[in-house]
């Protein structure tokens, strides 16, 4: 039996025919990167290939001087005779699925993805393939996301109530992607919006790319006398464990994450409110994507892979786990690192 087009080695998902890795976890000669979150975009590789819209975020994360080749969504790049193209993943701005074609066989690596509409990034594109390597971060039937407009109402009602009580609202969200998605949901008529430095930097890149977001003010660490009462502050979770948060008097804190669907997770976060807002597929969307690609074989990464694999096999689908060190958490990977 011939070797598979893609397989894992000690550095990542490897294509021997094209001599490149996808989202390698160690430095390699050539890395094809799905998106700029730090568990997928790691420093040290000699050359990178990624979507054109992900460039500003990759250079912020990996350094301005990295050797980076970019491609538009749908554009084909040939690497040692292997045809590679990048297609929208809908996870964060610039996130891509990787389509690999060689000798008439097509594989797709989804990276992280979601199918729900999100005004801050290009919508997910279903890519037909023979073999699908998909994440299943939330690979349990209990995970079924509420409508984004319902979550927006919950967030704005919480903020409005806090403002009426003379409190500051602090929303913890991943600095790249989730924070900007939260910003797009906010009703800025309620009060001023502030951002932690890590969020402000990435938000500026979104604005420079033409993404419309409410006006924000940088919550700098230098001005400790500013009155934030009634405002909304967007910050990474790590900020809640630093001296930065001490400037806010009796704030009300919230978390935006898919993990907020489980009560135990909300208790462990010790926040006042949890809002179910994920940048990954839920269970129904995962099943729809697997079915829609027409893949004859499915390989699972992230999350509860064994459970999803067993379920797919019971449905007559050739499925198995693909062990990788990609983070199971959907937020704070970069900040914690």
Domains for the chain: give ranges and CATH numbers.
7-142+279-336 (3.60.15.10), 148-275 (3.40.50.10890)
Which pLDDT value is given to residue 168?
A: 95
Q: How far is CA 204 from CA 56, 76, 131, 133, 216, in A?
A: 10, 30, 37, 33, 10
Which pLDDT value is given to residue 334?
A: 35
Q: Give CA 109 to chain center in angstroms.
A: 15
Long-range contacts of 259-266 (CB under 8 A, 24+ apart): 259/329, 259/330, 261/142, 261/143, 262/142
| Helix or strand (DSSP H, E) at 79 | strand 76-79
Residue with tokens 């001490």: 246
Whole-model pTM: value is 0.93
Residue 252 in tokens: 């009300």
Nearest to 245 by CA among 194, 170, 333: 170
- The list of the chain residues with pLDDT below 50 reads 1, 331-337
The Cα–Cα gap between 103 and 132 comes to 17
Q: How many other β-carbons are positioned within 10 Å of the β-carbon of residue 76? A: 11
The Cα–Cα gap between 133 and 171 comes to 33
Strands 7-8, 68-71: pairing kind: unpaired
Asked if residues 254 and 158 have their Cβ atoms less than 8 Å apart, the reply is yes
Which pLDDT value is given to residue 250?
A: 83
Which pLDDT value is given to residue 3?
A: 83
Q: How far is CA 103 from CA 75, 210, 273, in A?
A: 19, 39, 52
Which residues, 6+ apart, have CB-to-CB distance to 110 below 8 Å?
Answer: 34, 89, 97, 132, 133, 134, 135, 289
Going across the sheet that includes 232-235, the strands are 217-218, 193-195, 232-235, 169-172, 252-256, 273-275
Which pLDDT value is given to residue 337?
A: 27
Q: Give CA 260 to chain center in angstroms.
A: 16
Asked if residues 256 and 275 have their Cβ atoms less than 8 Å apart, the reply is yes
């Amino acid at each position: 039996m011939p070797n598979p087009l893609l397989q894992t080695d000690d550095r990542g998902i490897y294509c021997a025919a094209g001599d490149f890795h996808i989202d390698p976890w160690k430095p390699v000669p050539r890395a094809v990167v799905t998106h700029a979150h730090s568990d997928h975009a790691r420093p040290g590789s000699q050359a990178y290939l990624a979507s054109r819209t992900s460039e500003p975020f990759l250079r912020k994360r990996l350094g301005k001087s990295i050797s980076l080749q970019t491609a538009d969504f749908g554009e084909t790049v040939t690497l040692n005779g292997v045809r590679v193209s990048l297609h929208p993943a809908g996870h964060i701005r610039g996130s891509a699925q990787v389509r690999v074609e060689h000798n008439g066989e097509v594989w797709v690596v989804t990276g992280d993805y979601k199918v729900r509409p999100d005004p801050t990034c290009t919508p997910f594109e279903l890519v037909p393939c023979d073999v699908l390597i998909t994440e299943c971060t939330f690979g349990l039937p209990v995970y079924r996301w509420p409508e984004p407009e319902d979550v927006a109402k919950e967030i704005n009602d919480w903020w409005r109530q806090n403002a009426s009580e003379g409190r500051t609202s602090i929303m913890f969200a991943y600095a790249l992607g989730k924070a900007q998605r939260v910003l797009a949901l906010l009703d800025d008529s309620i009060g001023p919006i502030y951002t932690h430095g890590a969020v402000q930097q990435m938000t500026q890149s979104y604005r420079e790319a033409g993404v419309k977001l409410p006006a924000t003010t940088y919550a700098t660490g230098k001005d400790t006398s500013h009155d934030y009462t009634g405002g909304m502050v967007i910050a990474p979770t790590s900020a809640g464990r630093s001296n930065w948060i001490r400037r806010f008097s009796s704030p009300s804190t919230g978390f935006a994450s898919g993990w907020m669907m489980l009560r135990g997770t909300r208790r462990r976060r010790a926040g006042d409110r949890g809002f179910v807002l994920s940048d990954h597929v839920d269970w129904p969307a995962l099943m729809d994507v697997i079915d829609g690609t027409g893949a004859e074989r499915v390989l699972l990464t992230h999350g509860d892979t064994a459970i999803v694999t067993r379920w797919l096999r019971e449905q007559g689908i050739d499925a198995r786990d693909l062990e990788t060190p990609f983070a199971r958490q959907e937020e704070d990977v970069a900040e914690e690192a």
